């Protein structure tokens, strides 16, 4: 009973990611931070729907949007969030901005 619900939710989140890509192409008045935040939230919801353990604060995407990474962190921040193993490796290389979401996929910050 739960699997169809999880797959349905994952499919919905995937559609939202595709739509956010279309919005990004068209502009639609959103800032890059808003676009990256939307995609990061959708990616997080997909991972939650798959049952992924987000408690260690994993990187969800090294390319949430051009120049942006998507990372899970604790709110308030915990020492585990400072571990390079739990951060997106492209931050500071190909990406100069990040979106952090908590384990419930709520935006903590986008910078």
Q: What tens digit of pLDDT does each residue of 49-82 get?
A: 999 999 888 999 999 999 999 999 999 988 888 8
**Residue 14 pLDDT grade (very low, low, confident, very high; cuts 50, 70, 90):** low
pLDDT of residue 25: 52
Burial of 44 (0-12, 13-18, 19+ CB in 10 A): buried
**Residue 20 pLDDT grade (very low, low, confident, very high; cuts 50, 70, 90):** low
> Between residues 98 and 3, which one has the greater pLDDT?
98
Please provide the DSSP assignment of 39-92 as one string. HHHHHHHHHHHHT---TT--EEEEEEETTEEEEE--SS--GGGG-GGGS-TTBT
* Average pLDDT rounded to a whole number, residues 10-24: 48
Is the pTM for the entire model greater than 0.75?
A: no
**Residue 32 pLDDT grade (very low, low, confident, very high; cuts 50, 70, 90):** very high
**Residue 24 pLDDT grade (very low, low, confident, very high; cuts 50, 70, 90):** very low
């Amino acid at each position: 009973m739960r699997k169809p619900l999880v797959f349905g939710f994952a499919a919905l989140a995937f559609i939202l990611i595709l739509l956010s890509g279309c919005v990004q192409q068209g502009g639609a008045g959103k800032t890059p931070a808003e676009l990256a935040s939307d995609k990061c939230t959708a990616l997080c919801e997909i991972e939650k729907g798959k049952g992924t353990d987000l408690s260690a604060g994993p990187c969800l995407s090294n390319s949430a949007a051009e120049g942006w990474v998507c990372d899970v962190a604790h709110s308030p921040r915990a020492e585990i969030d400072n571990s390079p193993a739990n951060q997106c490796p492209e931050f500071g290389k190909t990406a100069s901005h990040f979106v952090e979401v908590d384990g419930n996929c709520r935006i903590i910050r986008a910078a």
